[in-house]
Chain A
């Protein structure tokens, strides 16, 4: 066996990847060749040291449970701090607004009357809650009804504004695996869907949205401007993002077909909704 192969085989042997018939060959060579023997000794020492360094060590019974309990306690503590209004309102809120329009309604700027209440809009708030072990799903007919039923410890603030032409359809309240979510469903017309999601504290990574940014000079005061709207050919998706000193506001518009009417009306509508949320959050902060 040539030394070149022997050194290659040493590596494979240490990793348990050398075929058994080659092991004998390798050992025979190592016995005869001082250089390869030295190499083998060095590699073997290194291998053993690495094995030792990363060897599992048995943990005392109950270690994991103790650790998970500690994490739970830390989370509850964080949530208590979070519930102090001044601190709570200094969060970065991420807002996702998705609009799905039917082509025939694109550009419609009229406020529908009550007989035309068909479009839906959802507002969601997702936050880590202290209720780790309870899974719950409840539906309510109004925000007031939901507020009365939801435990005050969770301190959920619903967005109070209702965009023109929309009406509350239902409020859905979920607790699942330590997270709670409030979904408010608004109805306007059947083909136009607007979804607003804001998350605090913001696990922004979970919102996989890539979009351009627009600065609003002062949160809540400026009407701001939506950033450039980009389209994805397949979904005809428009993405817009606001960035303010306090909030990240991401707005996603989805069309089920190529929009034909003016985009200005959509921008105006989204702009108003976005700024309403910002103003509302700022009012909370002032209170």
Chain B
């Protein structure tokens, strides 16, 4: 059995050590992702923590045949988007906070644009057909090369290549339809 799958199997049964391994593998990625949507260090840390607590609680429901990072980032996304929805004037508040809390040298409007871009991009990825979405996750979150993806999904390398190509084509097309000439 593949090592990462073994860890997942154990963690799913409540093994804390295995869960810790998952945490160490993914927490910086999840934090980076949430930060790109929030641009507030304190809030992003809280949401990262909440995400992993939810993951720990729900891990027993995870289908081992599915891709873990897709599942994990869906929880992170839902958590973050729910948080954003709850904040009626979130953007203004965040913008004020950012100038005081974060060490981000960009001005508030730049930060706002970045956050909006990240949100839009993630929404677009989320709407991709599953077979393309998995490829994007394995490439950009798991950082796997074509051979590794091919092995993991049990598909030929040529299919990995063509699907990633199609996934990007679709993303570019969607982005262009969202805003003409946007800075994605």
B23 contact from A16, A64, A203, Cβ within 8 A: A64
Known: A46-B172, A67-B52, A203-B60. A53 touches B121 (CB 8 A): yes
Residue of A nearest to B57 (CB): A74
Contacting residue for A17 out of B15, B161, B183, CB 8 A: B161
| Chain A positions within 8 Å of B61 at CB level | 205
Residues of chain B lying within 8 A (CB to CB) of residue A170: none
Does B31 sit at the interface, judged by CB under 8 A? yes
User: How many chain A residues touch B (Cβ–Cβ < 8 Å)?
Assistant: 40
Query: Chain A binding site: helix, strand, loop or mixed by DSSP?
Result: helix
The reply to whether A15 and B139 form a contact with Cβ atoms under 8 Å apart is yes
Within 8 A of B (CB), among A74-121: 74
Docked Cα-Cα span, A8 to B20, in Å, equals: 40
Interface size class for chain B? 35 or more
Q: A53-B140, A57-B28, A68-B20 are in contact. List 20 more A-B contacts (CB 8 A).
A: A8-B165, A11-B161, A11-B164, A49-B117, A50-B121, A54-B33, A55-B36, A57-B32, A59-B45, A59-B48, A63-B27, A66-B49, A70-B49, A128-B14, A177-B16, A179-B14, A203-B60, A205-B12, A205-B60, A205-B61
**The 9 A-B residue pairs with the shortest CB-CB distance in the complex, in nearest-first order:** A57-B32, A56-B28, A54-B140, A11-B165, A55-B32, A50-B140, A49-B184, A56-B32, A57-B31
Binding site for A on B (CB under 8 A): 12-17, 19-20, 23-24, 27-29, 31-33, 35-36, 44-45, 48-49, 52-53, 56, 60-61, 117-118, 121-122, 136, 139-141, 145-146, 161, 164-165, 168, 171-172, 175, 183-184
